[in-house]
Structure 1
Amino acid sequence: MRIQMASISEIPKIAELISRLNAFSEQHIGYCGQQQDEIEQTLRNDWGNEGEFSIDQSFVVAFDGEQLVGVLGFDIDVEGGQAEVWGPFAADQNLISHEQLWSYWLSNGVAEHVQHYFFFVNTANKTVINFLDHIQAKRRSEEVILVLDKASFSSPEHAATELPPQLEKDFIRLHDQVFPDTYYSGADILKRLEQKEHRVFIHKEDEQLAGYIYVEADLEFGEASIEFFGVPEKYRGRGIGTKLIQTAISWFFTFDQLSEIRLCVGAENAEALHVYEKVGFGVKHKLIAYLKEGKKRDGS
């Protein structure tokens, strides 16, 4: 058995192993995706940019002869001192264990740059869950992956409309109120609307903004995401959220490249889950988010 840091030339093998194992709930990790070409493109294009660590600094691989049998990767935010963990993946626990991959990583000097590790693990992936319990990672939340396929969806009779310029300030105010500490502010979303596959749909009542949904389509990989939707408290309970989601899905399914929609919802968010299930989404995966503390910046 040979454990080492990966090389750029091994990206196709890494993508193939992750794609193959991630197709099974018992091996599934939420961050990585399941399409081999998408994984490979992500590894080639999103690692090593703008001072970030490259594949050969942030991926541990294990070989049995010439066969790749284990992978553990880290998508590191250097400034924030944190990393999303791709794995660990082991094709055969009798050949390579999660603990061996993790121990090798900790001996790598790059590990000193990470203070917080984030794992996203399928509830059926008992071997990784046991490994995380062993290294004393803390459970942070439980999430649900929902799926809706095109054939089972019926378009709504009355659709919501796209965000007009005169309501942009109201949209920014509502989004920043509903999601005060998230990855895109309302102003950020407006900038992202410059890309034609990004849309904000809204619902109005008495010319007032009564709800919105922000969505993105990635046609290259046939993927769609519902990033945010929000309804002011005084307008809730009127079916506005359902109408917004139906409109977004109807727009998604105008593209031939999109045959199903997947999204992630907090398992405790019963209201959102009810809305999505009402539209026709079904549960695909249940996952647990974990946090493992790494070394402090002072080296402790």
Structure 2
Amino acid sequence: MTTFEQLTIDQLDEAAQFIASLNMNKKFHIGYCGTDKEDILSDLHEDFIENEHVNVFVSRHDNAITGLIGFDVYDGIAEVWGPFSREQQMENQLQLWHFVTEGLTQIKEFLFFINVENIFQQQFMETIHAQKSSDELYLTLPKDAFQQLEAIQSDLYSDTDFAQFEAIHAHAFPNAYYSAKTIAEKLHNSQHQLIVLKEQQLVKGYAYFEMNDTLHSTHLEFIAIAPEYRGQGLGKQLLKEALTLIFKNEAITQVTLTVNNMNTEANSLYYKTGFQKQDALLSYVLNV
């Protein structure tokens, strides 16, 4: 008999192990989550607990987890970890989905990130009428493949930069999973950093990245140049400055990022900088 439940905090270790085991296989892979159990567990504790309630739900058979869906919720948007299904049975996953979403009136939009080899979850996206929004590439850059700069011109973000930063972010990423406000709020974590490239208090571009010393990795979440300053080589400069700042942390051995597969200009820059393709992913949106 299959049962459904919302996990408690002390059950997150079991959830992290389940996600890690499935995510190592591209046929089950979900793009947000990673493959390292401890990294996954850390993210679950940081982003999936609200007032002692855990936004992670599972199906079980004979007490073993068979399916999992988690929500990282912000600004009425849920970044979905999953769906994960070990058995890949559509009816069971639909039952879990309805169990999870019933009563979630505060969420207006669900975001999914499915590996192109995860055919079952692409079929599930069609079943729940989620719309494919983009084709994405997941790129990685090892530390030894990048030559660090000797001089840095960018500065750490300050609150006085917010209006200009918000304008650049909204223009470059109008449907981003993090708003400028959310990014600014995330800076309470010392491993989340936002740098700005500016001249005489005029912000020309920014880069936001999240480091994980324990896993020796950093994800470059966003990088953008204001439209009026593009075509001047500032994107290349800012990228190299961000990477230099990241790799100055001796614990960090690689940088990862996600980029739209159709963004040929950005992709060319990333490849020339040393990034390599690791995964191809499909982004889906479900509005409710």
TM-score computed with the length of structure 2 as normaliser:
0.81
The answer to whether structure 1 residue 102 and structure 2 residue 94 are counterparts is: yes
Percent same amino acid at aligned positions? 26
Matched letter for residue 217 of structure 1:
M
**Change beyond 3 A, Cα 1:31–1:280:** same
Matched letter for residue 47 of structure 1:
F
TM-align CA RMSD: 3.3
Cross-structure match for 1:73: 70
**Change beyond 3 A, Cα 1:102–1:201:** same
- Count residues with an aligned counterpart: 281
Cross-structure match for 2:15: 14
- The answer as to whether partners of 1:15 and 1:36 remain within 8 angstroms in 2 is yes
3-state DSSP class of the match of 2:44? Answer: helix
Matched letter for residue 71 of structure 1:
L
The answer to whether structure 1 residue 161 and structure 2 residue 153 are counterparts is: yes
Equivalence map 1:1-300=2 (5 Å): 1-8=1-8, 9-50=10-51, 53-55=53-55, 58-63=56-61, 65-77=62-74, 80=76, 82-93=77-88, 97-107=89-99, 110-113=102-105, 114-156=107-149, 159-163=151-155, 171-172=161-162, 174-180=164-170, 183-185=178-180, 189=184, 192=187, 195=190, 198-202=193-197, 204=199, 210-294=204-288
Task: Provide the rounded CA distance (Å) in 2 between the counterparts of 1:284 and 1:179.
Answer: 26
- The answer as to whether partners of 1:160 and 1:202 remain within 8 angstroms in 2 is no
Task: Provide the rounded CA distance (Å) in 1 between the counterparts of 2:148 and 2:39.
Answer: 29
3-state DSSP class of the match of 2:167? Answer: helix
TM-fit CA distance, 1:26: 1.7
Q: Deviations over 1:55-83 (max 9, x none)?
A: 5xx402222x2433322333345x72x43
- The answer as to whether partners of 2:219 and 2:255 remain within 8 angstroms in 1 is yes
TM-score computed with the length of structure 1 as normaliser:
0.78
Matched letter for residue 283 of structure 2:
A
Structure 2 residue runs without a partner (length 5+): none
3-state DSSP class of the match of 1:16? Answer: helix
Q: Deviations over 1:138-180 (max 9, x none)?
A: 1122222111011211223x54323289x985x5454233222
- The answer as to whether partners of 1:28 and 1:125 remain within 8 angstroms in 2 is yes
Structure 1 residue runs without a partner (length 5+): 295-300
Matched letter for residue 15 of structure 2:
I
- The answer as to whether partners of 2:4 and 2:99 remain within 8 angstroms in 1 is no
Matched letter for residue 202 of structure 1:
L
Deviation larger for 283-292 or 100-109: 100-109
**Change beyond 3 A, Cα 1:74–1:153:** same
